[in-house]
């Protein structure tokens, strides 16, 4: 899998992913690919970004005159970031394994996400096993939390 290392970061430090590495890691494609960049991925935590553009298809109907990113798509973006974390942390790259939702728990929506912002996606492991993992996730804009959630995912063959 291609990856891009920060030139200022020492060898062996956390990795960053550009769009090519994200496409190699996730099976999602437009319009369902909701991670634009991974700022940092470590052993147990990830920080990614979704650039929320007015051109997103969901803004046409959610809501005309007051476009707001649906909360379920914020959770999906967090899950995709967590999928990259699982692939990296569990060594699943090139294995043909996929990360599937099993449960969404404790979802809380704190603030609307409007077009023209960078949605920061942070996720980490609550519990890590070879076939089932539980994650926490937090989305934010300019340091203000927009969504918090815990979710469980299954690692399975594609």
DSSP bridge partners of 147: 109, 139
Distance CA 148, CA 17 (A): 23
Q: Into how many domains does the chain fold?
A: 1
Give me the CATH number covering residue 92: 3.10.129.10
Lowest-confidence segment of 78-82, 96-100, 134-138 by average pLDDT: 96-100
Question: Quick check: is 4 in a domain?
Answer: no
Higher-pLDDT residue of 66, 9 = 66
- Distance in angstroms (rounded) separating the CA atoms of residues 108 and 136: 12
| 5 assigned to active site | no
Separation CA 16–CA 88 (nearest Å)? 11
Which residue is associated with the tokens 């594609």?
Answer: 158
Residue 1 in domain:
no
pLDDT in tens, 30-74: 899 999 999 999 999 999 999 999 999 999 999 989 999 999 999
135 inside domain = yes
DSSP 111-137: S---TTEEEEEEEEEEEE-SSEEEEEE
Q: How confident is the model at residue 46, as a pLDDT?
A: 98
pLDDT value at position 14?
67
How far apart CA 149 and CA 87 sit, in angstroms, is 20
In a domain, 6, yes or no: no
User: Quick check: is 2 in a domain?
Assistant: no
Query: Residue 20: which domain range?
Result: 15-157
Give 108-152 pLDDT, tens digit per residue: 999 999 999 999 999 999 999 989 999 999 999 999 999 999 999
pTM assigned to the model: 0.89
Q: Report yes or no on 74 lying in a domain.
A: yes
Catalytic residue among 5, 19, 62, 120: 62
- Quickly tell me which residue has 């539980």 as its tokens: 134
Tell me if 94 is assigned to some domain: yes
Is residue 9 situated within a structural domain? no
Residue 9 CA to residue 5 CA, distance in Å, equals 7
Q: Is the Cβ–Cβ distance between 101 and 88 less than 8 Å?
A: no
pLDDT for the residue numbered 9: 39
Task: Give the mean pLDDT of 85-99.
Answer: 90
């Amino acid at each position: 899998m291609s990856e891009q290392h920060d030139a200022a970061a020492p060898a062996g430090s956390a990795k960053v992913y550009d769009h090519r590495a994200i496409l190699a890691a996730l099976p999602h494609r437009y319009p369902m690919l909701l991670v634009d960049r991974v700022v940092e991925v470590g052993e147990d935590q990830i920080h990614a970004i979704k650039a929320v553009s007015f051109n997103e298809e969901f803004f046409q109907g959610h809501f005309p005159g007051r476009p707001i990113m649906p909360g379920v798509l914020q959770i999906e973006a967090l899950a995709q970031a967590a999928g990259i974390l699982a692939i990296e942390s569990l060594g699943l790259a090139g294995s043909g394994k996929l990360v599937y939702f099993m449960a969404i728990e404790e979802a809380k929506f704190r603030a609307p996400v409007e077009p023209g912002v960078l949605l920061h996606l942070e996720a980490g492991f609550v519990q890590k096993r070879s076939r089932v993992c539980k994650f926490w996730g937090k989305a934010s804009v300019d340091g203000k939390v927009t969504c918090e959630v815990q979710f469980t995912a299954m690692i399975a063959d594609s």
